[in-house]
């Protein structure tokens, strides 16, 4: 309620905002409601591919990287939140993404040499990051890019 010189005044009620149904969250142009501009899905690609923006991370695989001996993560097409107790490897995933995409180790605050990210007792660590393809002018998906970084303790 608002007051105007001691007189109580009520604000006019606001009409409720329309909320989309769960299956209409993205509106009529979503992959669930294809529009004429929706790209053609190539065999082997799913309609879920349309939800990922070009260049989005679709898969991360770590082998002998810090605390992970062999693990694969598949982030969703939208916001991803990495949660867990202290010491469970959340920062390790972010470090792997940074190093895998060409970041320098000294920016991560864990060491100046990428070899410091190799799991104790192992000689080689691998980071593999798969990026969502771009959509070509003819509506087809371009190449799926997989970036692979191998860190060798002896090099």
Q: What is the DSSP letter of 31?
A: T
At residue 60, the pLDDT reads: 98
At residue 49, the pLDDT reads: 56
Q: Give me 3's structure tokens.
A: 């007051």
Residue 141 DSSP SS3: strand
All domains in the chain, ordered by first residue: 39-152 (3.40.50.300)
Q: Are 60 and 96 in contact (CB under 8 A)?
A: yes
DSSP string, 96-128: HHHHHTT--GGGTTS-SSGGGGBPTT-SEEEEE
In this prediction, the residues of the chain whose per-residue pLDDT falls under 70 are 1-50
At residue 106, the pLDDT reads: 92
At residue 141, the pLDDT reads: 77
Nearest partner of 105 among 93, 94, 117, judged by Cα: 117
Task: Note the pLDDT tens digit of each residue in 75-105.
Answer: 999 899 999 999 999 999 999 999 999 999 9
At residue 90, the pLDDT reads: 95
At residue 13, the pLDDT reads: 67
Which contiguous run of DSSP H or E holds residue 47? none
């Amino acid at each position: 309620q608002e007051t105007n010189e001691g007189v109580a005044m009520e604000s006019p009620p606001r009409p409720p905002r329309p909320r989309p149904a769960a299956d209409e969250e993205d509106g009529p142009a979503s992959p669930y409601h294809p529009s004429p501009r929706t790209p053609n899905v190539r065999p082997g690609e799913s309609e879920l591919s349309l939800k990922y923006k070009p260049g989005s991370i679709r898969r991360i695989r770590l082998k002998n990287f810090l605390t992970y001996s062999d693990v694969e993560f598949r982030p969703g097409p939208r916001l991803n939140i990495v949660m867990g107790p202290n010491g469970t490897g959340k920062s390790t995933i972010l470090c792997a993404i940074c190093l895998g995409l060409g970041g320098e180790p000294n920016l991560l605050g864990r060491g100046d040499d990428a070899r410091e990210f190799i799991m104790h007792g192992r000689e080689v660590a691998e980071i593999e990051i798969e990026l969502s393809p771009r959509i070509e002018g003819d509506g087809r998906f371009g190449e799926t890019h997989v970036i692979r970084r191998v860190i060798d303790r002896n090099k």
